[in-house]
Amino acid sequence: MARTRYAPDRGLTRRMGLTMFLIGLLYVVFVGVLIAAFGNAWPFIVLLAGGFLFAQFWFSDRIAAYSMGAREVTPEQAPELHGAVDRLCALADMPKPKVAIADTDVPNAFATGRSQKKAMVCATTGLLRRLERDELEGVLAHELSHVAHRDVAVMTVAAFLGVLAGLITRIALWTGLSRGGRNNNALLLLIPLVSAVVYVISFLLTRVLSRYRELSADRTGALLTGRPSALASALTKVSGQMGRIPTRDLRQAEPFNAFYFAPALSGDGLSRLFSSHPTLEQRLDRLGRLSRELGQP
């Protein structure tokens, strides 16, 4: 992590490293299986995999911001939002990211960017309408923690590798089958199975990492502002307001849950195992304990 006043989280650093190592290992095995099945086409497979990974790393932040409707705003257009980000960046001793607003009533916020210099922090119009100043700063401190710890970039790349496995499988199988012939039928049958395994394991690893990073951002963001109660209030308010948003709008936002401050839709029971966020109860409990540690009521 680049030096900031955000409290370092070695647990998060270890988990990010382990997740990337395991997913990278899966990916190497997967590409190896493809090369074994389509030996003559191995340069094409390696080039395709490398090209997609390069494009994802360099352009993922722009793609994510565009997909979520983020529009960069100036201090004149959004003085309150810029003022809050300015105060937090000065407090954290970190470069100021781009500041954006997404025009949606879903109350949420997110951060993107592969580095602090390329980062963007975005709040929705629904969030800005509903939160008080200290609550907004709590949410923004949470999002800036993701930037400071660089877990946004790790999550983006990790999630993409699973999707890329399926994409390369379809291209490789289509290419091999259309040329008709000399490939081992057993390997051709094995490739979709390996691809599915890579996707499922990648999905589970990123979900486990995502839940931990949200708890980490809650803690380090609250430590930075010194007001865990403000973040807890924002969490409670945002989660309560989600039930008043039309289901159609929530479903449109749901694919980006892993990036959001709070999930647009959350499930119960078994579905929580696959959730990108801890439960509201877990987050509030951690923030309550942090308040007591800081000697706050």
Q: Do 253 and 108 form a contact (C-beta atoms < 8 A)?
A: yes
CA distance 162 to 143: 25
226 beta partners: none
Residue 32 included in any domain: no
Q: Give mean pLDDT, residues 68-72.
A: 88
Tokens of 268: 């119960």
- How sure is the predictor about 163, in pLDDT bands with cuts at 50, 70 and 90? low
Domain containing 76 — which CATH number?
Answer: 3.30.2010.10
Residues 6+ apart with CB under 8 A from 256: 64, 67, 68, 110, 264
135 part of the active site: no
Residue 9 included in any domain: no
CA distance 140 to 146: 10
Residue 192 included in any domain: yes
Q: What angle do CA 109, 115, 118 make, to 5 degrees?
A: 70
What per-residue confidence (pLDDT) applies to 297? 64
CB atoms under 10 Å from CB of 242, counted, come to 19
Residue 167, class by beta-carbon neighbours within 10 Å (0-12 exposed, 13-18 middle, 19+ buried)?
A: middle
Query: In the chain, how many domains are there?
Result: 1
Residue 7 included in any domain: no
Residue 21 included in any domain: no
Please state the residue numbers annotated as binding site: 142, 146, 214
What per-residue confidence (pLDDT) applies to 162? 62
Tokens of 79: 């003085």
Residue 33 included in any domain: no
Please state the residue numbers annotated as binding site for Zn(2+): 142, 146, 214
- How sure is the predictor about 24, in pLDDT bands with cuts at 50, 70 and 90? confident
Residue 241 included in any domain: yes
Residue 168 included in any domain: yes
- Choose between 136 and 1: higher pLDDT: 136
Q: Any idea which of 247-251, 275-279, 285-289 has the lowest mean pLDDT?
A: 247-251
- How sure is the predictor about 171, in pLDDT bands with cuts at 50, 70 and 90? low
- Choose between 210 and 256: higher pLDDT: 210
Q: Any idea which of 24-33, 220-229, 230-239 has the lowest mean pLDDT?
A: 24-33
Q: Which domain holds residue 120?
A: 61-292
179-225 pLDDT, tens digit each:
544 455 566 666 677 777 777 888 888 889 999 999 999 999 999 99
- How sure is the predictor about 277, in pLDDT bands with cuts at 50, 70 and 90? very high
| Annotated active-site residue in 143, 254, 281, 293 | 143
What per-residue confidence (pLDDT) applies to 269? 55
